[in-house]
Structure 1
Amino acid sequence: MSVLKTIFTWWNGATTGIHFTVARRGRFVGQDELGNKYYEARDDRDSYDRGRKRRWVIYNGYAEASKVTPDWHGWLRYTFEEPPTVEPFVVKPWEKEHLPNLTGTIHARRPQGAISQGGDRQRATGDYEAWTPE
């Protein structure tokens, strides 16, 4: 089944066509701690802007853009010229650790009162008065 997924689906990882294009046109730049692999084109032949080489990511598993860490995101969007493998990203002391978007997964936050938690919540306290039309 995984061979068919590789041939026909892009959301479960890179397709066979992408692997062919990467081998022919790209150069491996690095890999992040989540297992995503980052590439840069060998030249600017198929670039949108002359002088800029295209950059892309091949996700490890399900393709979800929030799985790109901030340091690599900056490199992909040309905020940083050098990739984090050459010039490491300096994390400020007030910055939080990167988390991918967990919405729609089993790890998503489900607060008390959510339908997935049974829909029961605490009753309103005495400071709440329901509005009724007069």
Structure 2
Amino acid sequence: MLSRIFGWWNGATIGTLFTVAKRGVLVGADEHGNRYYQSRDNVSYDGRKRRWVIYDGYAEATKVSPDWHGWLHYTFEEPPTVEPLPRRAWERDHIPNLTGTPMAWLPQGSLAAEGQRPAATGDYESWKPE
């Protein structure tokens, strides 16, 4: 219960959920489970309706895909649920930044990677103070 009150980094707090229920309208969700909202009235300083995202799990901005990012920043007027972005054949699926997670890429020889570090070759010379 305390994590729901104070734990903003791992999902929405109770206060945020209350505000969303009172002032927001669900616009859609993405493949990562994030939910996107728009305000019921024009509460922004420039007269536009505010837009925001409630992350599913850990709050990480790279979990927002490019089409939803464009909608959040008013680049696109219609959300991707109404008018999705056209996909090119060469485009890959969106992957959030995995740094710091168990799925992060670890180069060969990394101390965090499993296995042994490769032995140093003959081109290495240790530093000796003069």
**TM-score, structure 2 as length reference:** 0.86
Q: Return the letter of the residue paired with 2:29.
A: Q
Matches within 5 A, 1:14-53: 14-45=12-43, 47-48=44-45, 50-53=46-49
Matches within 5 A, 1:13-92: 13-45=11-43, 47-48=44-45, 50-92=46-88
The offset of 1:119, in angstroms, is 6.7
1:99 corresponds, among 76, 83, 95, to: 95
Partner SS state of residue 112, structure 2: helix
**In 1, Cα distance between equivalents of 2:33 and 2:85:** 17
Partner SS state of residue 115, structure 1: coil
Q: Return the letter of the residue paired with 2:77.
A: E
Partner SS state of residue 106, structure 2: coil
Q: How many percent identity over aligned positions?
A: 62
Partner SS state of residue 58, structure 2: coil
**TM-score, structure 1 as length reference:** 0.84
Q: Return the letter of the residue paired with 2:108.
A: Q
Q: Structure 1 unaligned segments of length 5 or more: list them.
A: none
Q: Give the superposed CA RMSD.
A: 2.2
Q: Which residue of 2 aligns with 1:121?
A: 118
**In 1, Cα distance between equivalents of 2:124 and 2:35:** 56
The offset of 1:123, in angstroms, is 3.9
Q: Structure 2 unaligned segments of length 5 or more: list them.
A: none
Q: Return the letter of the residue paired with 1:35.
A: G
